Copies of this chain bind each other. A is one copy, B any other.
Protein backbone atom coordinates (compact mmCIF):
# COMPACT_ATOMS: atom_id res chain seq x y z
CA UNK A 1 0.00 0.00 0.00
CA UNK A 2 2.89 2.40 0.66
CA UNK A 3 5.00 3.54 -2.24
CA UNK A 4 7.32 0.82 -3.36
CA UNK A 5 10.74 1.24 -4.84
CA UNK A 6 9.34 -0.36 -7.98
CA UNK A 7 6.56 2.17 -8.35
CA UNK A 8 9.01 5.06 -8.42
CA UNK A 9 11.31 3.26 -10.80
CA UNK A 10 8.84 3.66 -13.67
CA UNK A 11 9.34 7.37 -14.31
CA UNK A 12 12.76 7.92 -12.79
CA UNK A 13 15.07 6.44 -15.44
CA UNK A 14 14.21 8.78 -18.29
CA UNK A 15 13.94 11.76 -15.94
CA UNK A 16 17.38 11.01 -14.51
CA UNK A 17 18.72 10.85 -18.05
CA UNK A 18 17.24 14.28 -18.86
CA UNK A 19 18.80 15.81 -15.77
CA UNK A 20 22.17 14.21 -16.38
CA UNK A 21 22.22 15.59 -19.93
CA UNK A 22 21.37 19.02 -18.57
CA UNK A 23 24.21 18.86 -16.06
CA UNK A 24 21.84 18.92 -13.08
CA UNK A 25 22.15 16.52 -10.18
CA UNK A 26 19.26 14.09 -10.10
CA UNK A 27 18.02 15.00 -6.66
CA UNK A 28 14.80 13.60 -5.27
CA UNK A 29 12.98 16.91 -5.82
CA UNK A 30 14.17 17.39 -9.38
CA UNK A 31 13.35 13.81 -10.29
CA UNK A 32 9.87 14.15 -8.91
CA UNK A 33 9.23 17.47 -10.60
CA UNK A 34 10.70 16.16 -13.86
CA UNK A 35 8.46 13.13 -13.96
CA UNK A 36 5.40 15.25 -13.29
CA UNK A 37 6.42 17.67 -16.03
CA UNK A 38 7.74 15.29 -18.66
CA UNK A 39 6.05 12.01 -17.82
CA UNK A 40 3.01 12.67 -19.98
CA UNK A 41 1.82 14.92 -22.80
CA UNK A 42 3.09 18.49 -23.06
CA UNK A 43 1.71 20.91 -20.52
CA UNK A 44 1.69 24.47 -19.18
CA UNK A 45 2.23 25.12 -15.48
CA UNK A 46 2.78 27.95 -13.06
CA UNK A 47 5.14 27.53 -10.12
CA UNK A 48 2.19 27.41 -7.80
CA UNK A 49 0.09 25.00 -9.86
CA UNK A 50 3.00 22.58 -10.11
CA UNK A 51 3.77 22.92 -6.42
CA UNK A 52 0.15 22.23 -5.48
CA UNK A 53 0.00 19.22 -7.76
CA UNK A 54 3.20 17.72 -6.44
CA UNK A 55 2.30 18.35 -2.80
CA UNK A 56 -1.11 16.82 -3.49
CA UNK A 57 0.72 13.73 -4.77
CA UNK A 58 2.34 13.44 -1.35
CA UNK A 59 5.74 14.75 -2.37
CA UNK A 60 7.62 17.06 -0.05
CA UNK A 61 9.06 20.01 -1.98
CA UNK A 62 9.16 23.68 -1.12
CA UNK A 63 7.77 26.38 -3.37
CA UNK A 64 11.24 27.96 -3.50
CA UNK A 65 12.62 24.75 -4.95
CA UNK A 66 9.84 24.63 -7.52
CA UNK A 67 10.79 28.15 -8.64
CA UNK A 68 14.48 27.25 -8.66
CA UNK A 69 13.86 24.07 -10.60
CA UNK A 70 11.59 25.68 -13.19
CA UNK A 71 14.26 28.29 -13.86
CA UNK A 72 17.03 25.71 -14.03
CA UNK A 73 15.01 23.56 -16.42
CA UNK A 74 14.33 26.63 -18.52
CA UNK A 75 18.01 27.56 -18.65
CA UNK A 76 18.78 23.99 -19.63
CA UNK A 77 16.32 24.22 -22.50
CA UNK A 78 13.90 21.66 -21.05
CA UNK A 79 11.19 24.29 -20.58
CA UNK A 80 10.32 27.66 -21.99
CA UNK A 81 8.49 30.56 -20.43
CA UNK A 82 5.29 31.90 -21.91
CA UNK A 83 4.29 35.46 -21.13
CA UNK A 84 0.59 36.09 -21.50
CA UNK A 85 -0.47 37.41 -18.13
CA UNK A 86 1.04 40.31 -16.24
CA UNK A 87 0.31 38.61 -12.92
CA UNK A 88 1.58 35.04 -13.39
CA UNK A 89 4.44 33.31 -15.15
CA UNK A 90 3.77 30.17 -17.16
CA UNK A 91 6.22 27.43 -18.09
CA UNK A 92 5.76 25.20 -21.12
CA UNK A 93 7.15 21.69 -21.57
CA UNK A 94 6.83 22.15 -25.32
CA UNK A 95 10.00 23.97 -26.29
CA UNK A 96 9.44 23.59 -30.02
CA UNK A 97 8.10 26.22 -32.37
CA UNK A 98 4.42 26.77 -31.60
CA UNK A 99 1.97 29.43 -30.52
CA UNK A 100 -0.86 29.77 -28.00
CA UNK A 101 -4.47 30.42 -27.39
CA UNK A 102 -4.84 32.15 -24.04
CA UNK A 103 -8.21 31.80 -22.33
CA UNK A 104 -8.30 35.09 -20.49
CA UNK A 105 -11.13 34.02 -18.20
CA UNK A 106 -9.59 30.81 -16.91
CA UNK A 107 -5.95 31.78 -17.27
CA UNK A 108 -5.38 28.67 -19.38
CA UNK A 109 -3.11 28.04 -22.36
CA UNK A 110 -3.80 25.84 -25.39
CA UNK A 111 -1.10 25.01 -27.90
CA UNK A 112 -1.36 25.94 -31.54
CA UNK A 113 1.05 23.74 -33.54
CA UNK A 114 3.98 25.56 -35.11
CA UNK A 115 2.96 25.05 -38.73
CA UNK A 116 -0.55 26.40 -38.18
CA UNK A 117 0.14 30.11 -37.98
CA UNK A 118 2.31 32.00 -40.45
CA UNK A 119 3.76 35.36 -39.52
CA UNK A 120 4.94 37.37 -42.54
CA UNK A 121 6.53 40.79 -42.81
CA UNK A 122 8.41 40.86 -39.54
CA UNK A 123 10.72 43.86 -39.94
CA UNK A 124 14.44 43.48 -39.36
CA UNK A 125 15.48 44.31 -35.84
CA UNK A 126 16.98 47.75 -35.19
CA UNK A 127 20.76 47.95 -35.72
CA UNK A 128 22.77 46.03 -33.14
CA UNK A 129 19.81 43.84 -32.20
CA UNK A 130 18.70 40.36 -33.16
CA UNK A 131 15.33 38.73 -33.08
CA UNK A 132 15.20 36.34 -30.19
CA UNK A 133 11.80 35.02 -31.12
CA UNK A 134 8.37 35.95 -32.39
CA UNK A 135 5.48 35.16 -30.10
CA UNK A 136 1.88 35.03 -31.20
CA UNK A 137 -0.83 34.96 -28.57
CA UNK A 138 -4.45 34.50 -29.61
CA UNK A 139 -6.48 35.86 -26.72
CA UNK A 140 -9.92 34.31 -26.48
CA UNK A 141 -12.88 34.53 -24.14
CA UNK A 142 -16.36 33.17 -23.57
CA UNK A 143 -18.66 34.55 -26.25
Please tell me the number of chain A residues within 8 Å of chain B, measured between CB atoms: 38
Q: How many copies does the complex hold?
A: 2
Residues of A participating in the B interface, judged by any CB pair closer than 8 Å: 81, 83-86, 88-89, 101, 103-104, 110, 112, 116-123, 125-126, 128-143
Which residue in B119, B125, B137 is a CB contact (below 8 Å) of A101?
B125
- Chain B residue numbers with a CB within 8 Å of A135 are 135-137, 139
Query: Quick check: A142 and B129 within 8 Å, CB to CB?
Result: yes
- Chain B residue numbers with a CB within 8 Å of A139 are 131-135
Question: In terms of DSSP, what is the predominant structure of the interface of chain A?
Answer: strand
Q: Please name the residue on chain B nearest to A84 by beta carbon.
A: B83
Query: Quick check: A136 and B136 within 8 Å, CB to CB?
Result: yes
In angstroms, Cα B18 to Cα A58, docked, is 57
Which residue in B110, B130, B132, B140 is a CB contact (below 8 Å) of A132?
B140
Asked if A138 meets B122 with Cβ closer than 8 Å, knowing A85-B83, A130-B143, the reply is yes
In angstroms, Cα B84 to Cα A85, docked, is 8
Which residue in B85, B117, B129, B131 is a CB contact (below 8 Å) of A122?
B117
Query: Quick check: A134 and B138 within 8 Å, CB to CB?
Result: yes
